A and B are shown apart, each in its own frame.
Chain A
Amino acid sequence: EPEVTQTPSHQVTQMGQEVILRCVPISNHLYFYWYRQILGQKVEFLVSFYNNEISEKSEIFDDQFSVERPDGSNFTLKIRSTKLEDSAMYFCASSVLRGQDTQYFGPGTRLTVL
Chain B
Amino acid sequence: AQSVTQLDSHVSVSEGTPVLLRCNYSSSYSPSLFWYVQHPNKGLQLLLKYTSAATLVKGINGFEAEFKKSETSFHLTKPSAHMSDAAEYFCVVRGGGNTGKLIFGQGTTLQVKP
Contact = CB atoms under 8 A, between A and B. Distances in A.
Interface of A: 3-4, 31, 33, 35, 41-45, 48, 55-56, 58, 91, 93, 95, 98-108
Given A100-B32, A102-B49, A104-B46, A95 B100 contact: yes
A106 B103 contact: no
Contacts of A98: 98-100
B36 A105 contact: yes
B105 A42 contact: yes
B104 A43 contact: yes
Contact of A99 (B34, B46, B100): B100
B43 A45 contact: no
Interface in B90-111: 90, 94-95, 98-107
A7 to B, nearest CB: 13
Nearest to A105: B44
A104 B43 CA distance: 9
Nearest to A37: B104
Given A100-B51, A106-B43, A42 B100 contact: no
Given A42-B105, A42-B107, A105-B36, A48 B100 contact: yes
Contact of A91 (B34, B43, B46, B99): B43
Given A42-B105, A102-B46, A102-B49, A107 B41 contact: yes
Given A100-B32, A105-B36, A48 B42 contact: no
B24 to A, nearest CB: 15
A82 B46 CA distance: 31
Contacts of B94: 100
Contacts of B55: none
Given A42-B107, A43-B90, A100-B51, A108 B43 contact: yes
A56 B99 CA distance: 8
